[in-house]
């Protein structure tokens, strides 16, 4: 039994190393995930008319990309469960982009209203998921732009990295499907977010 546990731990540690290698390899790309996130951040700051608008859109985009990440988690979990169908699952995920983004946009607006109203909601189709954004309320009340800058960069970087992994890495090397389980993706998310927190403080 202990040998089996040791083997499982070794496989998990090796998988984490492989995912870390993928991310830091991506960071060497010309269109690196963090670089693209920073470019999106600068474009948003330059296009808004006031600091209040900038703060609002930071929150809105952070919620949107956070919700998008949950859809990536679902497709990765499906690939982990059915690696033999990975390419078909990826094609289906790609084909559903318009419908998915409409769902996310609707949920984003509902969650944003919930945060702006300090946790009050008169009833909407996203009520059961409001607890996922409840922790944002205190940061919104304080006008904590540093927190939302970190969140924005972290979630944007995460989305770009997941996109690369899904559309480029897995199709070119199906063995990566074994790294798509929830425990691996959760580790990867934490790695990317913590990396971005450090970088955000350098702005």
d(CA 93, CA 202): 35
Mean pLDDT (the chain, rounded) = 92
Residue 8 confidence class, pLDDT cut points 50, 70, 90: low
User: Per the structure block, which two tokens stand in for 80?
Assistant: 């982990």
Provide the residue ranges of all domains of the chain, joining segments of one domain with +.
2-200
Q: Where are the beta strands (DSSP E) in the chain?
A: none
Q: Does 120 have pLDDT greater than 50? A: yes
Over residues 115-125, mean pLDDT: 89
Q: Please report the pLDDT score of residue 2 as a whole number.
A: 36
CA distances from 91 to 23, 86, 97, 166, 185 (A): 23, 9, 10, 10, 20
Note the pLDDT tens digit of each residue in 121-165: 888 888 888 998 999 999 999 999 999 999 999 999 999 999 999
Residue 95 has pLDDT above 50, yes or no: yes
């Amino acid at each position: 039994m202990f040998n089996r546990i040791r083997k499982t731990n070794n496989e998990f540690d090796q998988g984490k190393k492989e995912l870390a290698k993928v991310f830091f390899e991506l960071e060497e790309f010309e269109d690196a995930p963090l670089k693209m996130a920073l470019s999106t951040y600068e474009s948003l700051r330059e296009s808004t008319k006031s600091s209040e608008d900038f703060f609002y859109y930071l929150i809105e985009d952070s919620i949107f990309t956070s919700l998008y990440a949950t859809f990536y988690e679902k497709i990765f979990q499906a690939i982990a469960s059915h690696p033999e169908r990975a390419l078909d699952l990826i094609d289906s995920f790609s084909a559903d982009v318009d419908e998915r983004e409409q769902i996310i946009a609707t949920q984003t607006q509902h969650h944003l209203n919930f945060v702006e109203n300090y946790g009050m909601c008169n009833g909407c189709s996203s009520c059961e998921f409001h607890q996922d954004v409840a922790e944002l309320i205190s940061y919104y009340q304080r006008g904590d732009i540093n927190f939302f800058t970190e969140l924005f960069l972290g979630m944007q970087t995460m989305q770009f990295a997941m996109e690369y992994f899904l559309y480029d890495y897995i199709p070119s090397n199906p063995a990566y499907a074994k790294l798509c389980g929830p425990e691996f993706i959760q580790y990867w998310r934490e790695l990317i977010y913590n990396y971005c927190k450090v970088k955000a403080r350098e702005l």
